[in-house]
Structure 1
Amino acid sequence: MIGYYAHHHGTGHMTRATSIAAATDEPVTVLSSRQPFPHSDIEWLQLPLDTPQPSDTGGPEYPADETAGGILHWAPTGVRGLTDRMALIAEWVARVRPRLVVVDVSVEVALLVRLLGVDVVVMAMPGERTDTPHTLAYRAASAIVAPWSRSVYDPQWLRPYADKTTYVGAISRFDGRARETVGDDASVVVLGGAGGTTLVASDIELAGAANPEFRWIAAGIDASSWRADVWPLLCSATVVVTHAGQNALADVAAAGSPAIVIPQDRPFDEQIASARALGSASVAVVTDAWPDPDGWTALLNRATELGASGWGRVEQRGAAGRAARVLDAGAVVR
């Protein structure tokens, strides 16, 4: 049995968990505060949220000591949900005796599982991960899976763990899916995501008015533009405009569409690091912020000229299977 802790922010960690679980030879139980995906047949352990609730009690400094003196990211005292979730994970580990647990991502869960005497596989994240909590998690890990290609992104901070790190490539839920298209006119697809975006509909409307040679389509920037299945849009797009979240980038890579990447503000400069790596490798056009309406022409021209051939360098095809093989092989360096 393999356990897989999936962080509840957005849907990217859960999507990655289900992709890898589907490719493994061993049963997988997902541990998460998110609700299971509809129609998912993966075993699921529902965890309580670890954030303060009205039923909690605390003084004026509550929640207190969130970083435990700087060695953790989120371990406040007095939060019942945090206590309950950690107890539930420990009870599950003691009862089920998993061979290993994948943690994607939580320093605190990684250390808890390792202290319970179970091998931990940590999913690496882009950005600057040199702080004390991240260093603890990477040192404690039995193995590390980097869901990107080393030829595109080889951060200096990850190199000390090279003997236990496997770069598997960008993991997409659409890997292996047949191409589907919708419409035959030139289109710009602006991709949002469940993790949040700073874009609003008027940003896209103004860009479209200044560049009417394209049909501008918003996908997931708000509730009204949410798409249950963006695959046909991605396959059909003349250019995809996307944030630099790992799952979004992997999905665009699977579709093989020219792209403009605009990183969102995230902790540890996660998206900035991913975007810069793609720009340096000539995989996609990268710009730091949403441009003024009249700034789009040059960016769109650059993206169409660059094309989509660079996406092969992120090694998306078969990435979930490569991650699964790390787990099936034991994932432990002794």
Structure 2
Amino acid sequence: MTRPIGYFVHHQGRGHAERAAAIVNALPADRPVVLFSARADIFPPLASNVTIRTIPSLFEVTGDEPTGLANVRTPSSLHCAPLGWKSITHAVATIASWFDAARPALFVTDVSAELALLARIASVPCVSVLQHGDRSDAGHMAAYESALGILAPYSASLEQPGRPDWMLAKTHYAPGVGVKIDPIDRSAARTALGLPLDAEIVVVVAGGGGNGTPATPLTLGARAEPDTLWLTIGAVEQEWHATAPGNLRHLGWVDTPALYIAAADRVVSSAGNTTVHMIAAIGRPWIVVPEWRYFDEQLWKARTLDQAGAAIMLEHWPSHAGAWMDAWTRAATLELSRQHALYAADAAQNAASWLAKVADDAWAQPVVALPPDPAPASTELAPSTHHAKA
């Protein structure tokens, strides 16, 4: 019987679920997979060998948490491990019970340092997903050190400095895994969306992991270009003092974000993993403004994009029209080939093959390299170099 693979999927944003689905759907059909997540509705269609086990969130309150334990100190080896939460106890018990019953080949965490360590404590081989950010703390490093392998959902050229050699040695890079882009040119995309063919269009892409892109800086950029159509897709956070010009339109969530990116002449975005790889696959003059995330994840990703010559990073939103114009001038010099190099259409299949190999090798009998057989001893006596005394 083929041992199953377990896979924890964080439910914030969309990238975790999309890349997990792409990878497990590419695994062999005879490999059972169980996805553990706080939400089952975030996944695209899954293969018949993949099932979902819904578990309570590991960080969202339910209302019955004891206040007396709320201020107990958290050790440096953990990130989010409050005491007395029945929901967390139930989530951990569900996963641990499955470990005991299923005897899995491997457990993948995308992402939770605590669950990676739980797998190690439970004697289950683990693979940890690596994201950008300052993750040199004790908890993250213990999870990476405990793992058989590390899966990085980005190009090796976007690796940030400071990763130790032992981490890099067991890291598999999967550039743009979970992102599927069908080739389409600008005119065809505009026709499909009903957008004017002859207009200059800026598309602003906001991710799904935060409160949204602030509206006010966008009003400044759009007002500075009255003959350019500015479109936003995703969540936009409105502010009472924002006065939107007529050439700025907020479209909200759309079903075809890649189509809007393809329709654009220029793009502004956050630095979420899915957003980054959609834009890189299509290729446009690009300004990236990182949103706040734990461990400065988006800040580090934006830095690596800028250093790779793929995008122009701004550490904060422009506060006046001149800052927008300066950023656009720099974005116009980008080589789009550097963006395209950050995306691999076969990333999911390659990641699945690597994951299956890690799982199989973990349970294979070790091969001991034996020394070569010694040469047979000669039966002839070598001539003596000494002479007996007369």
User: Shared fold by TM > 0.5?
Assistant: yes
Deviation string, structure 1 residues 92-126 (Cα, Å, up to 9, x no partner): 22222221111010011111122222211111111
Q: Which runs of 5+ in 2 are unaligned?
A: 238-250, 367-390
Deviation string, structure 1 residues 284-327 (Cα, Å, up to 9, x no partner): 11111111341212222322331422113324332222211211
RMSD: 2.2
Runs of 4+ in 1 over 6 A off after TM superposition: none
Equivalent residues in 2 for 1:88-237, closer than 5 Å = 88-175=94-181, 177-179=182-184, 181-182=189-190, 183=195, 184=197, 185-197=199-211, 199-222=213-236, 225-237=252-264
Contact 2:116-2:128 within 8 A present in 1 as well:
yes
* SS at structure 1 position matched to 2:89: helix
Q: Does 1:18 align with 2:36?
A: no
Deviating more after overlay: 133-142 vs 145-154: 145-154
Paired with 1:279 and 1:222, the residues of 2 have a C-alpha distance of 24
Q: Which runs of 5+ in 1 are unaligned?
A: none
* Distance change >3 Å, CA 317–CA 155, structure 1 → 2: farther
Q: What letter corresponds to residue 265 of structure 1 in structure 2?
A: W
Aligned to 2:318: 291
Contact 2:280-2:339 within 8 A present in 1 as well:
yes
Deviation at 1:228, TM superposition (A): 2.4
Deviation at 1:63, TM superposition (A): 5.6
Contact 1:5-1:31 within 8 A present in 2 as well:
yes
Deviation at 1:198, TM superposition (A): 5.2
Q: Does 1:306 align with 2:315?
A: no
Deviation at 1:144, TM superposition (A): 0.5
* Distance change >3 Å, CA 248–CA 311, structure 1 → 2: same
Matched length: 330
* Distance change >3 Å, CA 263–CA 158, structure 1 → 2: farther
* Distance change >3 Å, CA 70–CA 20, structure 1 → 2: same
TM-score (norm 1): 0.91
Q: What letter corresponds to residue 213 of structure 1 in structure 2?
A: D
Paired with 2:156 and 2:16, the residues of 1 have a C-alpha distance of 20
Equivalent residues in 2 for 1:258-297, closer than 5 Å = 258-294=285-321, 295-297=323-325
Larger Rg: 2
Aligned to 2:244: none
Paired with 2:226 and 2:256, the residues of 1 have a C-alpha distance of 25
TM-score (norm 2): 0.79
Higher relative CO (Cα under 8 Å, sequence separation at least 6) belongs to: 1
1:329 corresponds, among 354, 357, 367, to 357
